[in-house]
Every structure is written in C-alpha cells, then in structure tokens.
Structure 1
Amino acid sequence: MSRAPVLHLVVSAAGPARGIAALVDLLSADGWTVCLILSPTAATWLDRAALAETTGHPVRVEWRFPGDPEPHPRADAVAAVPATFNVMNKWANGINDTLALGTLNEAVGAGLPVHAFPCVGRGLGNHPAYAGNRRLLEQAGVVVTDLPNPDREGWQPVVDALRPTRVRRSAE
C-alpha cells in the first residue's frame, strides 16, 4: 500500500504567508501530505488551529521536549515558502535558533529534496550577503526559485515546481 509523500512546509513571516492555507489546499489536492512548521512571527499571523484541522497534523512552531514523540510523519521533501531574507541568510550559515531553521538545516544535512521560494524585496535582495548565501544554499542542493506573487499568479507555480519531487518520491 503506497502512501502520499510527506512535505514539511516551512513558513516564514513575509506577506504571502497570510495566504498559505490556499497553498496547503493545492498541495494536498496534488497528492502531498502537508505538515506545517512556522517561524515564530508567522505563527502570530496565522490561524494554527484551522491549519491543523486542514492538514490533520499539529502546526509546529517550537521544539519538542527531548523524548517526546515526533508529531509529524517523516518528510520526503521540505519546502520553505515564503523564505525571507533573514531565513535564507541564517539557513545558509547553519543558524538553528528556531524550529523552522532547524527543520531546513536538518533537511539539507539529511540529503532530502529541499526547495526554497524566497520572498525578498529588491533592497534586501541587493544586499551583498544575500547573493552569496543564496548561492551557498544552491551549491548544497537546495532548489531556489523566487516566489511568484500569489496575489497575481496564485500558488500554482509553487505546486508545479514541487510536483517532480512528489512524483519521484512516491515512485520510490
């Protein structure tokens, strides 16, 4: 009996995060089991109870206590949507000060398929640290695709970018 591949979706605090429920619905319809991990700031913006009901899994923000069971099934892939300037730079430098960053760091180290969809404005995108850190993540195997504007283009480009990973993982 095959199971739907599991996507750990890491959400950080950029404007598009407010519409993440629509992305979760599309990903679920596309065949993913979605588990959400939110940055602490994104957690204050979103209805965690409603998202947990939609996904069937708790929405995580904080580390679990040592010895407690893992509340999410093991990931087949991880995606950071949206990934902020702060998240991209901290992640590239291995900073592990939130569960969201810990999830991303561990996924890279475990060799899982990892996608990042940065949502970084022009001013921050031109900062000298950003280009180098983005390149570092790409060299580590992270597929980095600028986040399309969901207000104009919808979330479908994200679903489409993740689909080859889902198809590949469900065939294994």
Structure 2
Amino acid sequence: MIAGDGLLYLLVCAAGPASGVGRLVELAQADGWTVQVVATPSALAFIDAAALGEQTGRPVRSRYRSPSEPRPPRPDAVILAPATYNTINKFALGIADTYVLGLLAEAPGLGIPVVVLPYVNAALASRAPWRRSVEQLRAEGVRVLPGPGDDVAAFPWHLALRALGDDPA
C-alpha cells in the first residue's frame, strides 16, 4: 500500500480497545501521517475525544458535516480499528448509516487504501455472515487483517499501520 506522509483517517468503533486508540495515533504520527480520528457515535463513550483532538490537532469527528461547514479533505489512507462485527458487516453490504460507514462506503471506489483491524470474538468470527463480509471486502481490495480475538490489553495497533506499507499480494 503506502507509507506515511499524508492524511490518515483513523475510524474507531465502540469496542474495548478503543480507549487505547491514542497509541495508534502516536505510531502513525511517528511514521509521518497527519491523523484525523473519526468515531462512530457509540465509540464516543469509549474514547477521550478531547485528548485525541489535542494529540492530533484536529477535533474528533462523528457526524456528517452541516451544509455550512467546509468539505473535509480526502484521506490518503483509512484504518478502521478496532473494527466491530457490526461495522464490518455493514461496510461489506454498503450500508452508510453513520459518518464512519459513509467514509468506508466511498473509500474503495475512490481508490483510497483501507485497512481493517477487527476486534471480534471467536463466536462471531465463526459465523457465515462474518466470513462472507471479510471475503467480499478483500475481493474489493480492502485489507482485512486476521482478528486478534478479544484481548483488549494485547490489541495489536501496530499491525494496522504496518499493513499500509505491506504489499497486499
């Protein structure tokens, strides 16, 4: 994919590891990225939006802009982490009922690299809808990483960033 040096949209879902997303921001900034955090509405309860805004120099976004607000810049890459079962399945189906899902729905069609780092337990990962969604997203060029299970403390933020630089072949 690509190395740091541009605008990275970091999309955050409501899952246990979300409170540690500042670690991925730190890693991305060290790699040269400018980071914009965008959270699902439910994820706002899991993160410290003020601290992330201070860390990135940009307010955390969670909703579509109003007509009077300027259009935000297009990202050079997108990371969805931690990615939940619900969001991944909706992404695969093209559902855009939140700002995060709207961004995800457009990114592959715009040629923007997308990396997904799931946080899904084994029971959900064993389901047919999950397997179909992952297969479909990968077929569209979305880089869906193997899910690390449901260990919050061991969530491998660095893998999502590394995947942006890896050759997907």
Runs of 4+ in 1 over 3 A off after TM superposition: 147-150
The residue number in structure 2 matching 1:86 is 86
Paired amino acid for 2:130 = Y
Measured at CA, do residues 153 and 20 of structure 1 come closer, stay the same or move farther in structure 2, by a change above 3 Å? closer
Gaps of 5+ in 2: none
The residue number in structure 2 matching 1:29 is 30
Q: CA RMSD in A?
A: 1.9
The alpha-carbon deviation at position 40 of structure 1 amounts to 0.8
TM-score, normalization: structure 2?
A: 0.88
SS at match of 1:133: helix
Please give the alpha-carbon distance, in whole angstroms, between the structure 2 residues aligned to 1:156 and 1:68: 33
Contact residue 82 and residue 147 of structure 1 kept, 8 A: no
The residue number in structure 2 matching 1:59 is 60
Identity %: 43
Please give the alpha-carbon distance, in whole angstroms, between the structure 1 residues aligned to 2:99 and 2:7: 18
Are residue 160 (structure 1) and residue 162 (structure 2) matched?
A: yes
Please give the alpha-carbon distance, in whole angstroms, between the structure 2 residues aligned to 1:150 and 1:28: 22
The alpha-carbon deviation at position 67 of structure 1 amounts to 4.1
Please give the alpha-carbon distance, in whole angstroms, between the structure 1 residues aligned to 2:154 and 2:68: 44
The residue number in structure 2 matching 1:18 is 19
Measured at CA, do residues 74 and 160 of structure 1 come closer, stay the same or move farther in structure 2, by a change above 3 Å? same
Considering fraction of residues, name the structure with more helix.
1
Report the count of equivalent residues.
162
Are residue 118 (structure 1) and residue 118 (structure 2) matched?
A: yes
SS at match of 2:154: helix
Contact residue 85 and residue 118 of structure 2 kept, 8 A: yes
The alpha-carbon deviation at position 30 of structure 1 amounts to 1.1
SS at match of 1:151: coil
Gaps of 5+ in 1: 166-172
